[in-house]
Amino acid sequence: MTYWAYKVRADVSHLVSLLAPAPPSRVVRVWRGEGLEIVGEDAKTLAKWVRRRFGAEVDATTEPAAFLWLPTPPLPDGYPNTASDLRVLADAAGEDATAALGQAAVGEPDHLVALLGATGRGGSGLVAVKAPNPKHSSPHLRSAAQPLSRGFRPGRTPQTVLLNRYFGTGPVIRSSVQRADANWVHGRGRDLRTSKLLDSTVVVAGCGSVGAPVACTLAQAGAGRIVLVDHDDLNWPNLGRHPLGATAVGRNKAQALAERLQADFPHLQIEGRACGLHHLLQNDVELLEAADLIVAATGSWSAESALNRWHVELGRPRPVLYGWTEAHACAGHAVAIAGEGGCFQCNIDRTGAPSFKAVDWPDGGGGSQEEPACGAHYHPYGAVELNYVTATIGDVALECLLSPPAHSFSRVFATSQRRIDELGARWSDEWLAEHGNDDRGIRTIDRPWLRTTCSARRDQPVDEVA
Ligand SMILES: [Zn+2]
C-alpha cells in the first residue's frame, strides 16, 4: 500500500470503503456524492449508510462496482496501467474475480470502480482502480460518445464483445482507499471486543449530563444499536455539562443526540425517543426486553423504581445499570443489577436515597443553590469534574456488555481529598468505615450490592451481610 500510494496521482481523490476486506471476489456497489466515492457491500446497506451520514433527503442511488480479492498483493511492476491490465489481474485472481469485474462493466458505467484487496504483512490491504468508459476517450471508436454496444440491438450485445471493448488499452486511474467499515473505525480491525459490541443493543434512559456522555462513549466503543430515551428538551444552562450545544437548544435531548451520533457513526443504528421511562415500560416493553443492557440515568426514583420492578418481574436475565452523581460530582455511582444479589431497590430507601454515599455536606444539601425561579436547585460544577463519574459508568457499561456480571455490584468513584477540602465537604461515615481517610487522590472502588428485604419483591431471601 505504501508503494501504491507513491504511484497515486496527487489530484485523485481516495475512495471510502465500507466493505469487509476479505474474500471472496464479488460485485459490490458504489455511491457518488458530496465529493466522495463510497463503496458498500450492497445497495441497501450502502444507501442506509449514505442517508444516515448525509440526511434522509440525499439521492442514495448506487451502481455496481467490483471487489477483487487477489492471492498476493501486486508488486509495483504489476500495477495495472490500462483497463486491459486490470482484466488480466482479475483473470489471474480466479473465475469469481473475472465474473465480478464483468458484471460491474456490463452496465457500461462512466467509471468502473474496482477495489483490490489482498493480505499483506500487516493484515488486509485495499487499493482501488478506476477504469473510465472508453466511449468517452477511445480514438478507435468512430464517435467519442458511442456506446460500447454499437452494432447490436439494445440488450443484445454479446458480453465478450462488450468486455473486450471496455477493457482495452485506455489508461486507468489508480487511487487509494480509506476504510470506514465498523471494524476499522472501532479499533483498526484489531480490537477483539468490537464484533461483540457491534452485536449489542443498549437502551440509555435519561440523556442529561450523566446519560448523554455515557451514550457518546458507547457509540465510540461501537455498540451496534443504541436507543436514547428522554422526555426533556435541551436548555441553555445544560450546555456546560452536556455533549450537545447551542445547535440543539430547544430540541428534545434524546432525539437531538441520536441525530448527531447517527450522522457521526453511520454504521451504527442510533434512535431517539422523546418520552420517559414510564412511557416505555407501558408501551414498548419489547425494546427493553431486547436490550443487552439498559443504562438508567434519569435522576428520577419514580422512573427507576418502576424499571427495577419490571426487571425483577422479568427475572433479571440481563443487567440494568443505574448511574448517578453525588453533589458537585465529588462522587459517582454505577450500580449494575445482575441475576444474583440485590435488586436496585434493595439498597435505596423509600425516598430514593441510596443507603451508601461517599460524601457528606455540612449544610446537608451539598452546597446546592437556588435558581431565581422558585424550587429549582442546582449544584455548580462542570463537565470536567463530571467526566470521572460518566467514565466510571461507561466502564461498568462496557463490562456489562462484554462479560456480564453474575452478581449485582456497584462501582463508586470518589474525588480527591484536595477537592473535598476545597469544597468544605467531608467523607461520609460509611465511606470512612470502609475505606478510611487516606490521601491517595481520586479512585474507584467496587462494592457488592447485597439483597435485602425490599418491597420490590417480598419473597426474595436476604443476603447474609458479609
Ligand atoms: Zn430488592
Q: What is the 3-state secondary structure (H, E, C) of the chain?
A: CHHHHHCCCCCCCCEEECCCCCCCCEEEEEEEECCEEEEECCHHHHHHHHHHHHCCCCCCCCEEEEEEECCCCCCHHHCCCEHHHHHHHHHHHCHHHHHHHHHHHHCCCCEEEEEEEEEECCEEEEEEEEEECHHHCCCCCCCCCCCCCCCCCCCCCCHHHHHHHHCCCCECEEEEEEECCHHHHCCCCCCCCHHHHHCCEEEEECCCCCHHHHHHHHHHHCCCEEEEECCCECCHHHCCCCCCCHHHCCCEHHHHHHHHHHHHCCCCEEEEECCCHHHHHHHCHHHHHHCCEEEECCCCHHHHHHHHHHHHHHCCCCCEEEEEECHHHCEEEEEEECCECCCHHHHECCCCCECCCCEECCCCCCCCEECCCCCCEECCCCHHHHHHHHHHHHHHHHHHHHCCCCECEEEEEECCHHHHHHCCCEECHHHHHHHCCCCCCCEEEEEECCCCCCCCCCCCCCCCCC
pLDDT at 346 over 50: yes
Other CB atoms within 10 Å distance of the CB of residue 346: 24
Label residue 236 left, alpha or beta by phi (over 0 means left) and psi (-120 to 50 means alpha). Answer: alpha
Report CA(356)–ligand 1 centroid distance (Å).
15
Q: Which long-range contacts (CB under 8 A, 24 or more apart) does 75-80 make?
A: 75/3, 76/3, 76/4, 76/7, 79/4, 79/7, 79/174, 80/129, 80/172, 80/174
Report CA(313)–ligand 1 centroid distance (Å).
11
Report CA(456)–ligand 1 centroid distance (Å).
5
CA–CA gap between residue 150 and residue 155 (Å, rounded): 11
Q: Average the pLDDT over 97-101 and give the result.
A: 96
> What CA dihedral angle connects 357, 358, 362 and 364, to 10 degrees?
-20
CA–CA gap between residue 174 and residue 243 (Å, rounded): 40
Least confident piece of the model among 69-83, 159-173, 315-329: 159-173
Write the CA distances from 312 to 200, 291, 319, 342, 396, integer angstroms: 22, 15, 11, 10, 20
Decide if 330 contacts 324 (C-beta within 8 A).
Answer: no
Report CA(455)–ligand 1 centroid distance (Å).
7
Give me the pLDDT at residue 379, please.
63
Express each pLDDT in 23-66 by its tens digit: 999 999 999 999 999 999 999 999 999 999 999 999 999 999 99
Neighbours of ion ligand 1 (CB under 5 A): 343, 345-346, 454, 456
Report CA(433)–ligand 1 centroid distance (Å).
24
Report CA(60)–ligand 1 centroid distance (Å).
51
Report CA(430)–ligand 1 centroid distance (Å).
20
Least confident piece of the model among 20-24, 143-147, 254-258, 452-456: 143-147
Report CA(322)–ligand 1 centroid distance (Å).
14
Report CA(461)–ligand 1 centroid distance (Å).
10
pLDDT at 460 over 60: no
Give me the pLDDT at residue 453, please.
86
Confidence of residue 282 (pLDDT cuts 50, 70, 90): very high
Confidence of residue 142 (pLDDT cuts 50, 70, 90): very low
Distance of CA 378 to the CA centre of its chain: 32
Report CA(453)–ligand 1 centroid distance (Å).
6
Q: Which residues pair with 17 in a beta bridge?
A: 39, 179
CA–CA gap between residue 391 and residue 413 (Å, rounded): 9
Give me the pLDDT at residue 6, please.
78
CA–CA gap between residue 129 and residue 426 (Å, rounded): 66
Report CA(463)–ligand 1 centroid distance (Å).
11
Report CA(448)–ligand 1 centroid distance (Å).
13
Strands 269-273 and 293-296 come out as unpaired
pTM of the model: 0.90
Give me the pLDDT at residue 465, please.
47
Report CA(225)–ligand 1 centroid distance (Å).
29
Q: Which of 22, 21, 40 is nearest to 30 (CA)?
A: 40
User: Could you tell me the three cell numbers for 212?
Assistant: 448523554
Report CA(449)–ligand 1 centroid distance (Å).
10
Give me the pLDDT at residue 461, please.
55
Write the CA distances from 382 to 3, 27, 78, 186, 385, integer angstroms: 49, 51, 58, 29, 6
Decide if 168 contacts 260 (C-beta within 8 A).
Answer: no
Give me the pLDDT at residue 367, please.
58
> Could you give the maximum distance between any two Cα atoms of the chain, in Å?
93
Strands 359-360 and 426-427 come out as antiparallel
Residues whose CB is less than 8 angstroms from the CB of residue 379 and which lie 6 or more positions away in sequence, other chains included = 327, 328, 329, 366, 367, 368, 369
Report CA(289)–ligand 1 centroid distance (Å).
20
User: Could you tell me the three cell numbers for 307?
Assistant: 424499571
